[in-house]
Amino acid sequence: MRALDIIIRKRNGEELTQGEIRFLIRGYVDGSIPEYQISAWLMAVYFRGMTGAETGILTREMIASGETLDLSGIPGPFVDKHSTGGVGDKVSLILAPLAASLGLRVPMMSGRSLGHTGGTLDKLEAIPGYRIARDSGEFRRILRETGYAMTGQSEKIVPADRLLYALRDVTGTVESTPLITASILSKKFAEGAESLVFDVKCGRGAFMKSLPEAEVLADSLVATGRSLGRRIVAVITRMDEPLGRMCGNFLEAEEAALCLRGDTAGRGDLMEVTLRLTAWMLVAGGRAGDTAEGEGLCREKLAGGEPYELFLKNIAAQGGDPAAFEKGLGRLRSPVRRVLTSPRPGVVAEIDAFMIGSAGVLLGAGRSRTTDPVFPHVGIVLHKKRGEKTAEGEALCEIFAESGSAADGALALCSDAVRVAPTAEAPGSMILREKAAL
């Protein structure tokens, strides 16, 4: 078997066999197949695509390229959630303790920010002392103690994905549905999840800009996951406007805490998405019969305060200082401040999520490159959301930065992102489509 022959077959639009895909993946991981040939194969996949069977095989071979987390001895069910990335998306920080409080185990392997979308790990590490689980033993301990555990991808777990993703990033092949599907599912299944709920973001601030694009990815995730014997749900949600009112690492951890404590006023979009995704997790895990029952259970738990207590317990279990975190709420902000005020009376008609996310990257809340530093206390607070009235001179958003130049640049971007008009349509539902294979 030769890599060249496999590349040519895919270039010609032919369906590859399990043996051929295995040969490529194992050869790339062990170094026997060079990057330039894998790059050629990735480009062939980008243009020619893969069948559902090929995507399933690729996912299995990527999982088999490294270790998997052993969760035996810990009572399940194990259900996880994954987002394709958005601006202000701190759903995982609320959802994980909420789902755990309702009897699910949530083994969550998350990523860091890159581009205009935020990363869950950066938000968690903005909490004083918090560290992601460093090995499987620590991950198991935290999962057993608190019902959920947070970790990142290690070199030993799905090394094929780590290598392929880095190569896709520099060869223009990131936007390939089968490659995206295999990348996401291989990591999630390697962490031990039995059921998965996907939040497929759609809109200006999302990777998938249009609903048809988002539906293609959602269908691929559901079909491939189901072919591998997992219970899968994909929920397509809006991402034209930042989710919630805070964008930034500590700011988003703070907003998650506020929601868990019951301070949800003005955060209807964030809570709508969080409740629906958690409800689907309960359905997938056998804890609720449908999403209506699941959302009702979520509201009851939030009212009782147990999810917030689990959130604090997880902070302590993962090396953080809950008291320092709570003391920092409303206080931990970068020193340079700017305020964008309304140029006229009216209604906020638009807040462009992509531009707000770009302002966050400029501030240092996110990364343009994986090597860029991240500042935990920078960010943007939205005082007005779409559909809300504003007076002339009233604050629309507040910016926190480490330098004056970064603050001024972010202010200019935010000024272009927020549009005030005489009237505006009321925001619609955050939920666009739902696809399940249970």
Handedness of CA 249, 253, 259, 261 (dihedral sign): negative
Catalytic one of 110, 136, 154, 183: 183
Asked if 282 contacts 294 with a C-beta cutoff of 8 angstroms, the reply is yes
Residue 259: left if φ>0, alpha if ψ -120 to 50, beta else—which one? alpha
Catalytic one of 60, 187, 201, 231: 187
Residues 8 and 2: their CA atoms lie apart, in Å, by 10
Asked if 94 contacts 303 with a C-beta cutoff of 8 angstroms, the reply is no
Catalytic one of 81, 140, 168, 383: 168
Q: Mark whether 82 is an active-site residue.
A: yes
Catalytic one of 89, 161, 240, 269: 161
Q: Which residues are CB-contacts of 419 (< 8 A; sequence separation ≥ 6)?
A: 348, 349, 350, 351
Q: Mark whether 187 is an active-site residue.
A: yes
Compute the radius of gyration of the chain from its Cα atoms.
22
Catalytic one of 10, 82, 112, 385: 82
- Please provide residue 220's backbone torsions phi and psi, each rounded to the nearest 5 degrees: -65, -45
Residue 109: closest CA among 78, 80, 143, 70: 80
Question: Strand 389-390's sheet: what is its strand order?
Answer: 389-390, 346-351, 418-421
Encode burial over 93-102: b for 16+ CB neighbours within 10 A, e otherwise. bbbbbbbbbb
Residues 408 and 414: their CA atoms lie apart, in Å, by 10
Please report, for residues 76, 344, 348, 412, 420, the alpha-carbon distance to residue 391 in angstroms, rounded to integers and kept in the order given. Answer: 52, 7, 10, 20, 10
Helix (H, G, I), strand (E, B) or coil at 256: helix
Structural tokens at position 339: 């305020």
- By CB atoms closer than 10 A (0-12, 13-18, 19+), residue 428 is exposed
Structural tokens at position 186: 């291989």
β-pair partners for 389: 347
Name the residues annotated as catalytic: 82, 161, 168, 183, 187
